[in-house]
Amino acid sequence: MKILDQAILEELLAGHPWGGQLYCLAKIDSTNDWAKKLADSGAPEGTVILADRQTSGRGQKERSFHSPGGVGLYISFILRPAALPSELMHFTPMTGVAVCNAVEAVCGLRPRLKWPNDLILGGKKLGGILTELSFDGQQVSYLIVGIGININHAPSDFPAELSSIATSLAMETGIQYSRHQLAAELIREMKRVSDGMFSEKAAYLACYQKDCLNIGADMLIHRGEHPPVPVHCFGIDENGALLVTHRDGAVEQLIAGEVSIQHKTI
């Protein structure tokens, strides 16, 4: 098992503007938390933090993200877009497309996306995206995007409670992949996202529409203690929000929340 090596990554990224702003750590609580500390002390756009292992990897809704050493990619980016938070709703969908592009470029197979932030392969969770914002008045002062991908995990690398719902690239294909190559490709992809955050929004959302498993599916919306609400998802809007129809025909735009896919009709 090879530990993540900063020198190898820097060589793969030679000449890339973000190649000299990498922090490759052996072990950290959470790369997102470390990124926030760096951002608070002024780290520039394009600072990248990777860890071989996380001891308190975090997911959405205060869930943990299982992050064993030697097998996964746990990476966070500091971005500093000049924008209001409401102008960045499409950012996580764009990142999802970037992750799919990177996995496809290195591994030759394209994961799917389950709204809002899960990477799916073979019907199981391959990873996820955690985007966090910090504000300066009304404006965004920085954005941290953390991405976790299960790459070379064997079934025994997952705890019992994840064994039926999580997978890795190696488990789906029988092939071990280079974490360095995938990290380098993802860094290149995230630079493209950063450069095209507004100018390429429509093109990325068109890709997202194809990659997103929810579109064309019957789903349940889960809202706290309330009974799940059945809806049909028929598309996304110009910001990446899900468009759903309720049983009574009412249309709703979902900008956040938790959904489960019941049945896909197309």
- Two structure tokens written together for 191: 């630079």
Q: Are 151 and 179 spatial neighbours (Cβ–Cβ below 8 Å)?
A: yes
- Asked if 57 is part of the footprint of ligand BTN (rule: CB under 6 A), the reply reads yes
- Two structure tokens written together for 185: 């490709």
Binders of ligand BTN among residues 59 to 88 (CB under 6 A) are 59-60, 63, 65, 74-76
60 or 239: CB nearest ligand BTN: 60
Instruction: State in angstroms the smallest separation of the CB of 71 from ligand BTN.
Output: 13
Cα 154 to Cα 72, 99, 265: the distances in Å are 11, 21, 32
**Neighbour tally for 247: CB within 10 Å:** 9
Residue type, 11: E
Binders of ligand BTN among residues 119 to 178 (CB under 6 A) are 128-130, 146-148
- Asked if 58 is part of the footprint of ligand BTN (rule: CB under 6 A), the reply reads yes
d(CA 51, CA 53): 5
Instruction: State in angstroms the smallest separation of the CB of 118 from ligand BTN.
Output: 6
74 or 142: CB nearest ligand BTN: 74
Instruction: State in angstroms the smallest separation of the CB of 241 from ligand BTN.
Output: 18
132 or 252: CB nearest ligand BTN: 132
Instruction: State in angstroms the smallest separation of the CB of 74 from ligand BTN.
Output: 4
Instruction: Pick the closest to residue 173 from 146, 198, 195, 154 (CA basis).
Output: 154
48 or 75: CB nearest ligand BTN: 75
Q: Are 171 and 154 spatial neighbours (Cβ–Cβ below 8 Å)?
A: yes
114 or 188: CB nearest ligand BTN: 114
Residue type, 76: S
29 or 252: CB nearest ligand BTN: 29
Residue number of the CB closest to ligand BTN reads 128
Binders of ligand BTN among residues 16 to 55 (CB under 6 A) are 30-32, 54
- Two structure tokens written together for 202: 């429509």
* Residue 186, Cβ density class (10 Å: 0-12 exposed, 13-18 middle, ≥19 buried): buried
- DSSP annotation of 47: E
Instruction: State in angstroms the smallest separation of the CB of 124 from ligand BTN.
Output: 12
99 or 170: CB nearest ligand BTN: 99
- Asked if 117 is part of the footprint of ligand BTN (rule: CB under 6 A), the reply reads yes
- Two structure tokens written together for 4: 């993540």
d(CA 56, CA 83): 30
Residues that bind ligand BTN (CB under 6 A): 30-32, 54, 57-60, 63, 65, 74-76, 117, 128-130, 146-148
